[in-house]
Amino acid sequence: MPISKSTIKYVKSLRLKKFRQKYNNFIVEGDKMGREALNYAPSLIEAVYALDSWLETHASTLANDKKHPVTEVELKKLSLLTTPNQVLIVMRHPNNDLSKNLLAGQMSIYLDGIQDPGNMGTILRIADWFGIQTVICSPNCVDTFHPKVIQATMGAFLRVKSPEANLETVLNLIPNIPVLGAAMDGINIFKMPNIPNQAILVIGNEGNGISKITQNLITQRIAIPAAVNSQAESLNAGVATGIICAVLKGGR
């Protein structure tokens, strides 16, 4: 059955946060991400638009009413990518509620106004690599279900939770957890005498760093050491997150 104009309009509308929230849905595209979605979150899948060959190979266990075979031309009409890749899936938002249980005894990340979808996705991917289960997003972050975020996660959105909350709300849930934040005058991460087994690692906005209100809640300032004569002013937010997580989680 050919894909209707209203389906195309609906799927395309999900590029916007307004419609993702209205319908409680978002889009996942491409062969690899499609396979991961079927593998890790089959219950969240609402509709799979894919080439016949892809459906046969990868979606044999999926209910028939969720399978929508499409031609290359139809996929191109649905897709947000310049080069669609075999499959587009409409998924329901996972449960992204914040709870004390998620944070207790864990290192979690708090993103303070991260705006770039690529950085957000890269950070979720880092969390996935280092076994960090929760990346809390301040309300002024880019939406974690933005199509470009989802693409950049390489599937990490299926395994890492990304609840939206203010840091104050987080600290009301779990009051005495250490809050680490990068600062020029922070302690060298390679020389921290004690790495707390539970902590919130704050990552600031790409241009403006950590906001004043969040700064005031930091309990431990940390720093990535630069070369002695370095003239560089900063590192990319994703790179800084990767280095800190590697040293605090991987280096022990």
Binding residues vs a copy of itself (CB under 8 A): 40, 118, 122, 125-126, 128-131, 152, 154-156, 159, 190, 224-236, 238-243, 246-247, 249-251
Least distance CB 171 / a copy of itself (angstroms): 25
Sheet holding 25-29, edge to edge: 25-29, 87-92, 45-50, 67-69
Q: Are 68 and 54 in contact (CB under 8 A)?
A: no
Nearer to a copy of itself, 8 or 235 (CB): 235
Write down the least CB distance from residue 156 to a copy of itself, Å. Answer: 6
Would you state the structure tokens that stand for residue 237, as one six-digit string?
A: 């937010």
- Other Cβ atoms closer than 10 A to 82: 6
Min CB(155)–a copy of itself separation in Å: 8
Taking the C-alpha atoms of residue 201 and residue 178, their distance in angstroms, rounded to an integer, is 9
If the CB atoms of residues 74 and 128 are measured against a copy of itself, the closer one turns out to be 128
Q: Which of these, 203, 206, 198, 143, lies nearest to 171 by C-alpha position?
A: 198
- In the numeric block, the tokens 């991260």 are attached to 114
Shortest reach from residue 83's CB to a copy of itself, in Å: 13
Strands (E), the chain: 25-29, 45-50, 67-69, 87-92, 107-112, 135-137, 179-188, 199-204, 220-223
Nearer CB in complex with a copy of itself: 62/247: 247
Q: How many CB atoms lie within 10 A of CB 156?
A: 22
Specify the residue, 112 or 128, whose C-beta has the smaller distance to a copy of itself: 128
Q: Tell me the helix, strand and coil percentages in the chain, rounded to 5.
A: 40, 20, 40
* Cβ 53 to a copy of itself shortest distance, Å: 21
Nearer to a copy of itself, 8 or 240 (CB): 240
**Taking the complex as a whole, how short is the minimal distance between the CB of residue 219 and a copy of itself, in angstroms?**
23
Residue 62 or 246: the one with the smaller Cβ distance to a copy of itself is 246
